[in-house]
Structure 1
Amino acid sequence: MDRYTINREVASVASGKILLCTDDMTNHQVIIKRIRHTLPMDKEANELKIHRHLSKLGGHKNVLMLERDFLENGYDHFVIEYCAKGELFDVVASAGRLDTTVAMNYFEQIVSGVQFIHDRGYAHMDLSLENVLIDVHGVLKVIDFGLAVPIYECQRNAVGKYFYMAPEMYTGQMYDPSKSDVWSLGIMLFIMLTGNPPFSQANMNDAVFEYVSSYGLHAIISSWKIEHLIPKFAMDLLDKMLMIDPKARCSIHEIRDFLEKTPTPKLIKSQGKHRPNVRSFLKNVFGHSSKKVGVWQ
């Protein structure tokens, strides 16, 4: 740590601390995740392995960069780039929802980062607005690879934050992790455009999901009277990403192709009322924070 000056503690975690530091060699601010050295098969070790792999040869501008890591005094230190504007979740929650042009610009950046992760051989498995940071220049960075898995290995466990989780995760059957990432991206886009998730959980215990399963996503959007918040091109894309059958769901490359062929029109801000912002909606309707994570074996 001789190279770094600690500015303040950002957060405490179970096995250590997250620190905002200044790199005395570059004079740039960085985040250092300082955690107790652990066994090679735990979540932190998995995240480090994948983060190293993704950061090789310069990484990708929309994936959080691991600048270096080192072991000192029984603690692992992960030095990562600092994103001064914080979580995308908080930006959306503060605004209530995003205008189409902003939402689509953000979404394109996220998709670019996720495509890079997929092309490097991994599915993220925990995509959410909380796991995207924004740097001082407005560039979005996908973060948190602790649940990531090899993209060609089918999975059975249901992992992630409840309302981002794909419906196939609840079946107990094997599923394609790349398609579950696409579902999560669809939920993220829906929240950015409308300010709310479409349902609490993507299973038949959720009344809204059951309704969508029977009548389609358009039906619930119409009943909520929020058609004006989702332009036709965005609705077409949501339909492709939120297909309940994962075999019919589009791939990350098909999303990129769609975005490249579809210019984003400018949106005039609506003066009409819209439903409460995502944080209060989750608290009042679903009875839990979006921070809650479910993991079932």
Structure 2
Amino acid sequence: VELLGEGLFGKVHLVRHVPTGHAFALKELRKARLEASRQQKNVINERRVLYAVRHPFVLRLYRTFRTDAKLFMLLELVQGGELFGVLAREGRLPVPWAQFYGSCVLSALDCLHGHGFVYRDLKPENVLIDADGYCKIVDFGFAKEVHSNRTFTVCGTPEYMAPEIVLGKGHNKGADFWALGVLLFEMVTGRTPFANEGDDQLKICHNIVTGKLSFPSVVMGEDGMAVTRQVVRALLNKSEVHRLGCGKRGAGEVKAHAFFDGIDWDVLIDKQLE
């Protein structure tokens, strides 16, 4: 019906199922470009994860098909824009907004982890807003099945990388909880915690490993900021062993934090929050 977007590897089209009129997003990928950039594995990863996981806050994949030159993925259509756009427009978000969006993301991560996957690419650009205002995480090219093992691939966006990724120590699901902490910080402050203006990637990585977490004074007096600082500090513990979410209860530890008081997780998943 129309072109929604175009990237290095292909295009995304808005398409309609003629008998029902239902709209979908059709991702069209050129095999030659994927092979030239060694991105085939990422596409296979994304397909495997999306077929395995069904969750209201994870983008749904309906089917895939191919021709000699192209791969196609028929996906759920989400047209509310990215969380990145919300942050660009608003500057920073009130704590209740951060709690709501953070709850959606945490619920999605909990589901992924329950299936043995680590996401490894959480950032505002990969969080879409649906027609009801809820979040959906997208782009699972870096996702990996780990269960209780560790993986050593360095991947993701530098500002969101956990220290254990930067140091090449191997990582697991704790890297996603670190990234959630970065996301919460960015939502309430308007910037990421370890990247200052003009910093290159090497400096950002150095800050992640050695820098101290501090909140800008402009947000310190806002309602709910005390408990927000607590949960962010707990998620951004440089020691994976002591990081919130890295205990036996996993995401349940994070859900039980006072920051998420008032969230009925079943009602959230049913998209019935008022």
Shorter-chain TM range is: 0.7 to 0.9
2:155 partner SS: strand
Taking structure 1 as reference, are residues 35 and 110 closer, same or farther at Cα in structure 2, changes over 3 Å only? same
> Following superposition of structure 1 onto structure 2, how do residues 21-170 of structure 1 map, counting pairs within 5 Å?
21-37=15-31, 42-54=41-53, 59-72=54-67, 74-151=69-146, 152-170=148-166
Residue 253 of structure 1: aligned partner: 252
RMSD in angstroms over aligned alpha carbons? Answer: 2.7
- Where does structure 2 lack aligned partners over 5 or more consecutive residues? 246-250, 264-274
**Alpha-carbon distance between aligned partners in 2 of 1:189 and 1:144, rounded to the nearest angstrom:** 19
Runs of at least 4 residues off by over 6 Å? none
**Which residue identity does 1:66 align to in structure 2?**
L
Taking structure 1 as reference, are residues 117 and 74 closer, same or farther at Cα in structure 2, changes over 3 Å only? same
Any conservation in 2 of the 1:240–1:250 contact (CA below 8 Å)? yes
Any conservation in 2 of the 1:34–1:75 contact (CA below 8 Å)? yes
- Where does structure 1 lack aligned partners over 5 or more consecutive residues? 1-6, 265-297
Count of residues in Structure 1 that have an aligned counterpart in Structure 2: 248
- Percent identity of paired positions between Structure 1 and Structure 2: 27
Please, what TM-score do these two structures have when normalized by structure 2? 0.81
**Alpha-carbon distance between aligned partners in 2 of 1:29 and 1:138, rounded to the nearest angstrom:** 18
Taking structure 1 as reference, are residues 261 and 199 closer, same or farther at Cα in structure 2, changes over 3 Å only? closer
Please, what TM-score do these two structures have when normalized by structure 1? 0.75
**Which residue identity does 2:45 align to in structure 1?**
N
1:84 partner SS: coil
Residue 227 of structure 1: aligned partner: 220
**Which residue identity does 1:237 align to in structure 2?**
V
1:202-249 residue CA offsets vs partner (Å, 9 max, x unmatched): x99459937x957x53xx226x44312462221111111000111110
Any conservation in 1 of the 2:227–2:259 contact (CA below 8 Å)? no
Q: CA deviation at 1:73?
A: 5.4
Any conservation in 2 of the 1:83–1:133 contact (CA below 8 Å)? yes
**Alpha-carbon distance between aligned partners in 2 of 1:14 and 1:245, rounded to the nearest angstrom:** 37
Taking structure 1 as reference, are residues 194 and 32 closer, same or farther at Cα in structure 2, changes over 3 Å only? same
Taking structure 1 as reference, are residues 19 and 110 closer, same or farther at Cα in structure 2, changes over 3 Å only? same
Taking structure 1 as reference, are residues 221 and 16 closer, same or farther at Cα in structure 2, changes over 3 Å only? closer
Taking structure 1 as reference, are residues 60 and 206 closer, same or farther at Cα in structure 2, changes over 3 Å only? closer
2:180 partner SS: helix
Taking structure 1 as reference, are residues 209 and 45 closer, same or farther at Cα in structure 2, changes over 3 Å only? same
**Alpha-carbon distance between aligned partners in 2 of 1:206 and 1:13, rounded to the nearest angstrom:** 26
Matched, 1:172 2:168: yes
1:86 partner SS: coil
Taking structure 1 as reference, are residues 72 and 208 closer, same or farther at Cα in structure 2, changes over 3 Å only? closer
**Alpha-carbon distance between aligned partners in 1 of 2:104 and 2:234, rounded to the nearest angstrom:** 19
1 or 2, which has the higher strand percentage? 1
Taking structure 1 as reference, are residues 182 and 101 closer, same or farther at Cα in structure 2, changes over 3 Å only? same
Q: CA deviation at 1:86?
A: 1.2
Residue 267 of structure 2: aligned partner: none
Q: CA deviation at 1:140?
A: 0.7
**Alpha-carbon distance between aligned partners in 1 of 2:225 and 2:206, rounded to the nearest angstrom:** 22
Any conservation in 1 of the 2:228–2:259 contact (CA below 8 Å)? no
Q: CA deviation at 1:80?
A: 0.9
**Alpha-carbon distance between aligned partners in 2 of 1:207 and 1:52, rounded to the nearest angstrom:** 33
Any conservation in 2 of the 1:199–1:206 contact (CA below 8 Å)? yes
